[in-house]
């Protein structure tokens, strides 16, 4: 009966395991788990199936990260090749001569035209483009395509303005004219160009940097790149050219004229410019000067004393012993007293023939010439009576 009960207990799983029963091996068994103990939605998988699931999850996460990185990189790249929003304000960019396509990227990036010089270099490699030096007008934050279109169009034509320097101006007056009339010039830069010795004239005596009388008065064109120094240098070179065109290399032509250097001819021309009322009477003014130099007489030209007064800021002194006081001192003043124009240069090189030693104003802009001192005194009285400024 007992044996039957034991067998029945074994079938039901109610019998405790036998420990140390001889002749039988003990097998450890895992307790059975009922489905209702763990929930109906969970089914425990074998170990190899769990590993496969983990790999799938990792690969899925990696793929998602790669997609995010790719989208981000594409967005970053697109934001530099073609920035969002409208372009910014206009900016003028100077592209130097010899700039390569690769160098262009750096120039544009530094100016804020594009956002990445490196990406531009890679992007433009497949494009057919050549770089021309000059001034370009771009928009800030442009796309690569917009910037390239401007480059292909070529540089903007230089803005050209003009400045006119009248005849007879002193160096100080020329400085004031340039600083006033040319907006792109600062007064300090003009002053430096005229006085720091950077610009030199081959006409000036050795060791002289003073440009008084050495700049030709004319109308000059100014481009975007024109600086005070380049303009002053052009004016100095133009004076050399004008002297050559009027026969300066042949010296003063005419009877009874002293041998003068080119610089001294310029001094004479500046006196003619200051005294002559017109181009027609300029050669006779020059002849009076040469006749007085020949005879060792003071020139008696008050314009030289006025020049010194303006240069020093002191009152005119006709009694001084200054070399600019040509009432008392014979010979030429030490420098020109202004910038002579073409007709004054020509008159100094080709004076009229005549015996005159005096000239007196008889009407505004017109003089009477004479070789007689007594006639000079009579003409001077008439000039004073007319209140023309003689005296």
What does the pLDDT look like over 251-267, one tens digit per residue?
A: 899 888 989 999 999 99
Q: Note if the pTM is more than 0.75.
A: no
Q: For residue 21, what pLDDT is reported?
A: 46
**pLDDT value, residue 18:** 47
Tell me the three state secondary structure of residue 112.
coil
Q: What are phi and psi of 143, to 5 degrees?
A: -75, 165
pLDDT at 388 (0 to 100): 84
Could you report the per-residue pLDDT of 127-177, keeping only the tens digit for each?
888 899 988 999 998 999 899 999 999 998 777 689 999 999 999 999 999
**Burial tier of 192 (Cβ tally within 10 Å: 0-12, 13-18, 19+):** middle
- What gap in Å lies between CA 141 and CA 349, rounded to an integer? 62
Structure token pair of residue 2: 């007992």
Domains of the chain by residue range:
90-153, 161-245, 250-385
Specify the pLDDT at position 251: 87
* Max CA separation in the chain (angstroms): 183
pLDDT for position 391: 61
The correct answer on CATH 3.30.1490.480 for the domain covering 90-153 is: yes
Q: Give the Å distances, CA to CA, from 347 to 251, 271, 374.
A: 12, 11, 27
Alpha helices in 155-253 (DSSP H): 171-181, 187-195, 228-245
Q: What is the DSSP string of 52-105?
A: HHHHHHHHHHHHHHHHHHHHHHHHHHHHHHS-SS----EEEEEE-TT--HHHHH
Give the per-residue pLDDT at 5.
Answer: 45
Where the chain has pLDDT below 50, the residues are 1-5, 9, 13-14, 16-23, 35, 38-39, 69-73, 76-77, 79
- Packing angle between helix 228-245 and helix 342-349, nearest 10 degrees? 40
Instruction: Tell whether the torsion through CA atoms of 288, 293, 294 and 295 is positive or negative.
Output: positive
């Amino acid at each position: 009966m007992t044996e039957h009960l034991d067998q029945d207990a074994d079938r039901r799983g109610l019998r405790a395991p036998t420990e140390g029963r001889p002749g039988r091996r003990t097998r450890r068994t895992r307790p059975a788990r009922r489905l209702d103990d763990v929930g109906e939605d969970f089914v425990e998988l074998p170990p190899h199936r769990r590993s496969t699931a983990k790999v799938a999850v990792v690969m899925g996460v990696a793929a998602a990260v790669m997609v995010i990185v790719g989208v981000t990189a594409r967005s970053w790249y697109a934001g530099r090749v073609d920035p969002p929003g409208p372009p910014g304000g206009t900016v003028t960019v100077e592209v130097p001569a010899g700039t390569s396509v690769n160098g262009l990227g750096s120039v544009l990036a530094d100016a804020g035209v594009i956002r990445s010089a490196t990406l531009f270099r890679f992007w433009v490699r497949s494009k057919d483009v050549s770089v021309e030096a000059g001034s370009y007008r771009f928009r800030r934050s442009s796309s690569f395509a917009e910037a390239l279109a401007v480059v292909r169009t070529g540089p903007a034509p230089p803005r050209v303005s003009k400045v006119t320097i009248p005849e007879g101006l002193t160096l100080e007056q020329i400085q004031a004219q340039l600083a006033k009339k040319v907006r792109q010039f600062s007064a300090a830069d003009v002053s430096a160009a005229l006085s720091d010795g950077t610009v030199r004239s081959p006409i000036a005596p050795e060791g002289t940097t003073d440009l008084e009388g050495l700049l030709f008065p004319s109308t000059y064109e100014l481009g975007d790149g024109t600086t005070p120094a380049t303009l002053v240098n052009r004016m100095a070179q133009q004076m050399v050219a004008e002297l050559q065109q009027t026969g300066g290399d042949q010296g003063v032509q005419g009877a009874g004229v002293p041998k003068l250097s080119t610089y001294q001819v310029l001094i004479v021309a500046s006196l003619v410019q200051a005294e002559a009322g017109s181009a027609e009477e300029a050669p006779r003014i020059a002849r009076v000067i040469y006749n007085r130099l020949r005879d060792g007489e003071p020139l008696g030209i008050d314009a030289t004393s006025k020049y010194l007064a303006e240069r020093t800021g002191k009152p005119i002194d006709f009694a001084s012993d200054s070399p600019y006081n040509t009432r008392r001192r014979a010979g030429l003043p030490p420098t020109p007293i202004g910038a002579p124009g073409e007709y004054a240069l020509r008159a100094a090189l080709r004076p009229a023939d005549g015996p005159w030693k005096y000239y007196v104003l008889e009407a505004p802009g017109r003089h009477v010439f004479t070789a007689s001192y007594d006639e000079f005194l009579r003409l001077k009285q008439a000039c004073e009576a007319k209140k023309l400024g003689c005296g």
